[in-house]
Structure 1
Amino acid sequence: MAAAGGKTKIVQLTFDEARPSPVVLISGPEQFLADRASRAIREALHRVDPALEVHDIDATSYGSGELFTVASPSLFADPRIIRVEGVEKASDAFIEDAKRYLSEPADGATLVLRHAGGQRGKSLLDAVRGAPGQAAGATEVVCAELKKDAERLGFAQGEFRRLGAQVSPGAVRALVAAYGGSLGELAGAIEQLVTDVGLRLNESDIERVTEGRVEAGAFKVADAATAGRAADALVLLRHALSTGTDPIPMLAALNMKVRGMARVYGAVGSSGQLAKDLGMAPWQVERALKETRGWRESDLARCIDLAAETEWLLKGGTRDPNYALERYVLFVARKGRER
């Protein structure tokens, strides 16, 4: 696809669409996705010709002429992939050589440029993305950070599909909650799960392997609170805090559910249509609609305000962050009603 404004002429792909072309720009800060894309390109080329030559260049310490040396055909004219890391910190020599290379890419060579972000090398990126890059048959693989809950859920679902596994929506959500850190850790956990448990997984399977993780405990508290089980939520919260769990992940888990409730509150339509309109999965919509039952609009608005206040308190605004978090959890569990 073309980028907004018509300035970008290059074909843009997601990490799981990565494929060989004479020049491939892998852009964006998410290194795990970038590594996955680079590996996919290399494997695709290797399947076509096992004699593939692999050359790695560090753009930060690049010496003039190095690119043209490795791009030159060997005696047997074997295909070549040239992987360049650190383009966002590239030397002036590399930027100049790469721009020259774009005007006449080497036959049988695939140039993969990795740029993690920033302004360094912008003139090279513009050249790749503009008319010269398009003439060279360039593509761009965009590897942005997956920050939103829906994006991480989508990534996890894609990983299970890639491995041929079937997993319930609740199980995916529980796993993503338990592995809130790097995508690499999440992907590794999914692969290990499928290897150990099999191709059909449910919430019980996920709970067994994630028990004890901070994020998993946080979502147990959040689930109890939004279900209106105040006593259970309080017991789970106090247990988690007593075992050294940081209050911040607990708050983040509850806030994720509260945000979903606020988005669907008062919305009309099928779960499928609302999911499309709100950028959520249908099961997320159904769950959030269920959790908003019994809430008044004014109390839900106050809950959003209390979430921000509690975050401030937990980040230094009080000497007793545990009490502040307990107060917020009870407010949610009681649907904003004092008892």
Structure 2
Amino acid sequence: MASPRRSKTSGASWRDVTVSPFILVQGGEDYIHTRVTDSIKTQLKQAEPDTEIHHLSAAEYQAGELQVLASPSLFGEKKLLVFDEMHKMTDAFVVDGLEYIQYQNPDVTFLGLHGGGNRGKRLLDVLKKSGQHIEAKPIKSDRDRMEFLQAEFREARRRIDPDAIRALADAIGQNLGELASAAQQLISDTQGTITEDTVEKYYGG
């Protein structure tokens, strides 16, 4: 029996995720699940435009599906297998997942989205050791929200005043998707340094 390749990156930032044989996103923040999925899709499509993408629910998984989907393509195309609802995974998914890790296809990226909890712990533990483990914990504190916004503007190479960051966080609230959308609007619609007055113009009152 072949040993699984190890490329462990435990607790890596979701912003830094890269294509690898196994990626596990674990936690209840759906927006991070979406961002990681979109990032991996983009990276794969840029490198291999013909990449096959399959979305499946681990909660509805039936025995043998993983092995069929992960089998080599006739023309050697890359594949992305996205399994959501892993926090509700079937027993068959656990069994097939553990087997697949031993006999993985190097042309396949396995992306698992787990909403939290201990369902499938045996499989989760092996995935964490075999690939990238991304935490998707909900962002609740003011500090975390402001750090999230700062990172959004930093990625876009835009300057924003600290008071503007706080004003934007206060105006939008805790929803990560809404925070990201607001940041993107300011990035797209404005030029120069974003100030508190800029935020007030768009989101005040």
TM-score, length-normalised on structure 2?
Answer: 0.92
Letter in 2 for 1:95: V
Q: For 1:177-256, what aligned pairs fall within 5 Å after superposition? A: 177-212=170-205
Instruction: Flag the structure with higher strand content.
Output: 2
Q: Which residue in 2 is equivalent to 1:19? A: 18
Question: Aligned partners of 2:191 and 2:138: how far apart in 1?
Answer: 29
Q: For 1:1-339, what aligned pairs fall within 5 Å after superposition? A: 10-12=8-10, 13-130=12-129, 133=130, 138-212=131-205
- Greater shift after overlay, 81-90 or 160-169? 160-169
RMSD: 1.4
| Aligned residues of 2:21 and 2:110 also touching (Cα < 8 A) | yes
SS of 1:112's partner is strand
Question: Aligned partners of 2:9 and 2:192: how far apart in 1?
Answer: 35
Question: Aligned partners of 1:198 and 1:141: how far apart in 2?
Answer: 33
Instruction: Flag the structure with higher helix content.
Output: 1
Distance 1:103 1:29, change over 3 A: same
Deviation at 1:199, TM superposition (A): 4.2
Question: Aligned partners of 1:42 and 1:127: how far apart in 2?
Answer: 23
Question: Aligned partners of 1:22 and 1:208: how far apart in 2?
Answer: 46
| Aligned residues of 1:26 and 1:142 also touching (Cα < 8 A) | yes
TM-score, length-normalised on structure 1?
Answer: 0.57
Deviation at 1:31, TM superposition (A): 1.0
Question: Aligned partners of 1:186 and 1:198: how far apart in 2?
Answer: 19
Question: Aligned partners of 1:198 and 1:67: how far apart in 2?
Answer: 48
Question: Aligned partners of 2:47 and 2:188: how far apart in 1?
Answer: 29
| Aligned residues of 2:32 and 2:136 also touching (Cα < 8 A) | yes
Query: Which has the bigger relative contact order, CA under 8 A and spacing at least 6?
Result: 2
Moved segments of 4+, more than 3 Å: none
Question: Aligned partners of 2:111 and 2:35: how far apart in 1?
Answer: 13
SS of 1:24's partner is strand
Letter in 2 for 1:56: H
Letter in 1 for 2:47: V
Q: Percent identity?
A: 33
Letter in 2 for 1:10: K
**Stretches of structure 1 lacking an aligned partner (at least 5 in a row):** 1-8, 213-339
Deviation at 1:200, TM superposition (A): 2.3
Q: Which structure has the larger Rg? A: 1
| Aligned residues of 1:25 and 1:128 also touching (Cα < 8 A) | yes
SS of 1:110's partner is strand
Question: Aligned partners of 1:174 and 1:95: how far apart in 2?
Answer: 45
Deviation at 1:19, TM superposition (A): 0.8
Q: Which residue in 2 is equivalent to 1:293? A: none
Question: Aligned partners of 2:183 and 2:109: how far apart in 1?
Answer: 31
Distance 1:199 1:34, change over 3 A: farther
Deviation at 1:162, TM superposition (A): 1.6
| Cα deviations by residue, 1:281-302 (Å, 9 ceiling, x for unpaired) | xxxxxxxxxxxxxxxxxxxxxx
Question: Aligned partners of 1:63 and 1:21: how far apart in 2?
Answer: 25
The count of aligned residue pairs is: 198
Question: Aligned partners of 1:199 and 1:117: how far apart in 2?
Answer: 40
Deviation at 1:188, TM superposition (A): 0.3
SS of 1:120's partner is coil
| Aligned residues of 1:167 and 1:201 also touching (Cα < 8 A) | yes
| Aligned residues of 2:140 and 2:174 also touching (Cα < 8 A) | no
SS of 2:165's partner is helix
Distance 1:30 1:199, change over 3 A: farther
SS of 1:193's partner is helix
| Cα deviations by residue, 1:131-185 (Å, 9 ceiling, x for unpaired) | xx2xxxx111111122221111111011111222111110011001111131000
